[in-house]
């Protein structure tokens, strides 16, 4: 699916990003609300993926619904930190995660970053490896989920 990507700040809304994160991380994976909503959203750029606009079965225009999100922080000069990458279960495997990561990496380059460093759940380590990330740590727990640190030159 070619999702429509919108940026925050910009045309997307933080409420839409939060809706996807609540579904994926809090409801599906059992992450606590306090841990997921960590107070760092205002210091980040967010990308939200929406279904393509079109006509629904009632003949009305469908503006698109949020189906994925990712955020980018730059906690140290030149190093991007992609975070909170999430795609609704019904839309996984359709290329939305790749589209989100490409947009996040483009944004990171725009901000002068030459390296990206992220914490990947071990269940999706292969996804990031296919995007050129290399594992740089042993397995550790974050939100009671096994993770590894991964890096990529931008």
Residue 91 has pLDDT above 50, yes or no: yes
pLDDT category at 55 given cuts 50, 70, 90 is very low
Please name each of the domains of the chain with its CATH number.
Answer: 4-54+61-153 (3.40.630.30)
Of the candidates 141, 148, 152, which has an alpha carbon nearest to the alpha carbon of residue 101? Answer: 152
pTM for the full model?
A: 0.92
Residue 125 has pLDDT above 60, yes or no: yes
Residue 103 has pLDDT above 90, yes or no: yes
pLDDT category at 58 given cuts 50, 70, 90 is low
Tell me which of 39-53, 91-105, 138-152 is least confident.
39-53
Taking a C-beta distance cutoff of 8 angstroms, is the pair 14, 8 a contact?
yes
d(CA 7, CA 5): 7
């Amino acid at each position: 699916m070619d999702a429509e990507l919108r940026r925050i700040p910009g045309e997307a809304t933080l409420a839409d990003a939060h809706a996807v994160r609540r579904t994926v991380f809090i409801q599906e994976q059992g992450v606590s609300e306090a841990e997921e909503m960590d107070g760092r959203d205002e210091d980040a750029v967010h990308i939200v993926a929406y279904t393509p606009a079109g006509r629904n079965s009632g003949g009305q225009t469908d503006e698109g619904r949020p189906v994925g999100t990712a955020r980018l922080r730059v906690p140290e000069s030149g190093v991007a930190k992609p975070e909170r990458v999430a795609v609704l279960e019904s839309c996984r495997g359709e290329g939305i995660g790749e589209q989100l990561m490409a947009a996040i990496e483009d944004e990171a380059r725009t901000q002068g970053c030459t390296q990206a460093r992220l914490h990947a759940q071990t269940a999706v380590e292969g996804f990031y490896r296919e995007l050129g990330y290399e594992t740089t740590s042993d397995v550790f727990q974050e939100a009671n989920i096994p993770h590894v640190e991964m890096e990529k030159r931008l």
